[in-house]
Amino acid sequence: MADAPDMMQVNNVSKAFGEDWEREMVIENLSLKIRRNQLTAIVGPSGCGKSTVVNLLAGFEKPDSGQILLDGRPVTGPSKDTLVVFQETALMPWLTTYQNVTFGPKLRGDIPRDQLKEAADSIIETVGLKEFRDKYPLQLSGGMQRRAELARALINQPLVMIMDEPFRGLDAMTRQLMQEFYMRLCEQEARTNVFVTSELEEAIILADSLVVLSNRPATVREVVQIDLPRPRNLEMLSSSQAYEYKRHAMEMLHEEALKSFKGVGSSSDFLESYSRRP
């Protein structure tokens, strides 16, 4: 399976939550291919089930039906092969940057100490935190904490790095800097990435493939191939090509968002008229 073009395959996956008498379908017949050494961005209407998709890919949740394959093998639970960087920081405040980065491998004991130190020092330098190696999370800015989280995931050499709105909550300038940093990192490392975000421009500038999810229960509405040249920069978002990607995706997202308002009092008439605007 090493030569297969797809690192992950999601085959007709469905997932519902709740008791039998009030069970709500969140994901329905979702099929998706995560291409090897590419960044797949996932966007969708608010509340459509993006976080559930993350949990399924990472093995935190099991599908009710269908199958998820990682490099040809069924995903049966969480593992170091599918690591998630979440919205909220998960750094342990009583550990330094170095200690946080090395915590997982030390716990598993699967990397010799001298190799672990060398790998940690290299990754910490790669994410620009060499001078903050011995600092605690509260001594780091929001952007530095995000980079420390990336380093902590990267040292485990995951087959798939899953990012669940990792830059949400950062101020505009820090978010932009993190987008540029992550863009460079992805281009240098050539890893398989899944990036879930609510920011369409962020998805477009980072992604090789843009997956647009439908309204709940979520399925894949369309997969858009983003053919902007690499290396990329944020100025490319001003190009006509990027604008067309954004316009097309926005139309789909708007149509899907409208579905959640159907039949909600008198607002449905307004929304139907709004959807027909020129």
- Inform me whether the pLDDT recorded for 269 exceeds 70: no
Instruction: Return all residues near 9 (Cβ < 8 A) that are at least 6 apart.
Output: 32, 33, 34, 67, 68, 69
Residue 169 confidence (pLDDT): 82
Ordered domains of the chain (ranges, CATH): 37-62+72-275 (3.40.50.300)
User: In the chain, where do the E strands start and end?
Assistant: 6-17, 24-35, 39-43, 65-70, 73-74, 82-85, 160-164, 192-196, 209-213, 220-225
- Inform me whether the pLDDT recorded for 276 exceeds 70: no
Average pLDDT over residues 54-61: 96
- Inform me whether the pLDDT recorded for 2 exceeds 80: no
Residue 272 confidence (pLDDT): 52
Dig out the tokens for 115 from the structure.
Answer: 């190799």
247 and 239 Cβ atoms separated by less than 8 Å: no
CA angle (55 as vertex; 50, 60 as ends), nearest 5: 170
- Inform me whether the pLDDT recorded for 218 exceeds 50: yes
Residue 278 confidence (pLDDT): 52
Instruction: Return all residues near 46 (Cβ < 8 A) that are at least 6 apart.
Output: 198, 257
Dig out the tokens for 16 from the structure.
Answer: 């519902």
Residue 270 confidence (pLDDT): 46
Residue 168 confidence (pLDDT): 87
57 and 160 Cβ atoms separated by less than 8 Å: yes
Dig out the tokens for 193 from the structure.
Answer: 């990435």
Q: What is the pLDDT of residues 151-170, one digit of tens each?
A: 999 898 899 999 999 888 88
Q: What is the pLDDT of residues 65-119, one digit of tens each?
A: 999 999 999 999 999 899 999 888 889 999 999 999 999 899 888 888 889 999 9
The DSSP bridge partners found for residue 209 are 40, 225
- Mean pLDDT (the chain) is 89
Cα distances (Å, whole numbers) of residue 159 to 5, 111, 114, 153? 13, 17, 23, 11
